[in-house]
Structures are given as C-alpha cells and as structure tokens.
Amino acid sequence: MCISKWKYLIDPSKFEDIKEMNNGGFGILYRAKYTETGNYIAAKILKNKKKKQVNQEIAILIKCSGLPTFNLFYGYSRTDFFNNNNVTLYM
C-alpha cells in the first residue's frame, strides 16, 4: 500500500510557544502549541540527516500512527521553526 506523505506536510509557522525540551544525537526535541487546535505537540528537528533517512523515518511514523500503542504522528515540515532547512517531525 502506498501512503502519500504530502497529506502530512505541515506549515511550521502555525506553531507558537516553542520551547526546547532536549538536545540529543538524533536532533532537538521541542514542545510547541499548534495554533489551529491549541494543542501542544512534540516536534523533533532532524539535523544533518540524509534525504533517504528522513523519508524512511517519515514512512515508519505514518505506518505506525494507526496502532493503538503508538503516539499520533501529526506530520512533518521541510523547514524548522526558525526557517532553516531541517526536516521537523510533529508528534
């Protein structure tokens, strides 16, 4: 089954109250408020990742998001909150 990644594309400018929570080897984890719903989400900014690695991670998150034991995957963006070219995953 082919799942379109395009429907998961999110505009990073729709977030406010952005706070860094943790910085690790896989990227930087933030808490941010999604302005369209008022909900807080976790956002993981991936740094120095190759396109193939990013695509694989997005595909896994999309596939797993339907499982009852997995936190919901909201989507991703091609830039981060600071308008840098770092892919950001929203969960």
CA atoms within 13 A of residue 23's CA, in its CB half-sphere: 2
Beta strands in 1-91 (DSSP E): 15-24, 27-34, 40-45, 75-77, 88-90
pLDDT tens by residue, 28-82: 889 999 999 999 998 988 876 777 777 777 777 777 766 665 567 788 888 889 9
pTM to 2 decimal places: 0.75
- Which of 46, 43, 41 is closest to 24 using CA atoms? 46
Q: What is the pLDDT of residue 66?
A: 65
Q: What is the pLDDT of residue 11?
A: 92
